[in-house]
Amino acid sequence: MGAPAQLQLPSDPTDAARSYLEPSSAGQVKPPSLGSGRAARRGNPPETPPGPRAVLEGGGTPCRPPPGTHTVRWGSMWVTALLLLLALLLLVLLLGRRGASRLEPAGRAVLITGCDSGFGHLLALRLHRLGFTVFAGCLCPGGAGARRLQREAAVGAGRLRVLRLDVTCGRDVQAAKELVLSHLPERGFWGLVNNAGISTFGETGWLSMEKYEKFTDVNLLGSIRTTLAFLPLLRKYKGRIVFMSSIIAYFALGNGIYSMTKAAIEKFCDALRLEMKKFGVQVSIIQPGNYARSTKIQPPVSAEEIWNELSEEEKAVYNKEYVQERANFFNNILSEGSPNGNEVVDAMVDALMSPAPKARYMVARLKEKALVLVCALFPTAVMDFFLSYALSKVKLT
């Protein structure tokens, strides 16, 4: 047998590689041929797969990420950074609330509207016992609620004063301001609590224009009226303003007139809160859930009274049975209300005394908070579906 064939290596391997990796007419690198293994057995050098340098020098196109990859990557980084920043801010706020000491109430004055009953009455008693100087505004100074407050005032060294205050009356508001100025304690005017409000039940067409005007005057304009009167004092002493709203500000279920006024007061507060920051005045909103059993703001409704107040045009559309069913539905909701009004008062006290009060205090049951969450995050059609389902048993026949 003859001598085996000798493998002939080129003197310059780089030149050999370039010869095998010349670009094709289309500008692409030629792949190794399928016969490279047989060529090696014949004594020819095998073809080398192209490297990065060969691709670039040979005129081929370097490998690039798909279009939009960098945009998605940067977008994800920004979202992550934003979430981390929000978490850091939340941590700072929580640490600030825990670390700072609570307010010393002695020598500070607070005016509360709507103290005849309900949250305002409970808050006046609580703040007085904590050591605040309390001005309790009552619509009926001779009523049972006002008399109870006056008995409390008799043992309070003059720190609780009951005054007539109709928030729809400019004269009453001005008289209240003069009374506060003439009995201002050493640390000045600290807080205004806009608590006065009224509620009713009825579909939109059932209520007269006079009722819409009355509810707007009490629930919305009444709070604005007292706020404007006491704003100079609040700015001077860097005090607090607390507004009574409701989770009904997010949706309406048989009392759209009440929901309308609470949604409006929330937006007024949002504007006021931002504007008062430069003066050191803190603005908070209280959003109770169903506390009908602990207040007198909404007594049980009477279908007969509702029917008698309807116009002839509305009576031609509805019937007594429908009105009765709606009244029963609403009264059932009222009967499920929490009797513990002190839960709401706790939030009001925190808004007045905390070193870092919240912008909003939602005091509600889990299912009520879930309903608000659905309303805030989901399309309106989803919310309408849930509310329509709740009313589905009440049909117009």
As annotated, the active-site residues are 258
Which residue, 138, 122, 143, is CA-closest to 172? 138
Residue 153 has a CB neighbour count (10 Å cut-off) of: 18
Please tell me the distance from the alpha carbon of residue 274 to that of residue 277, in angstroms, as a whole number.
6
User: How many angstroms separate the Cα of 40 from the Cα of each of 7, 30, 33, 215?
Assistant: 8, 18, 12, 97
Burial class (CB in 10 A: 0-12, 13-18, 19+), 239: buried
Tokens matching residue 336: 């499920």
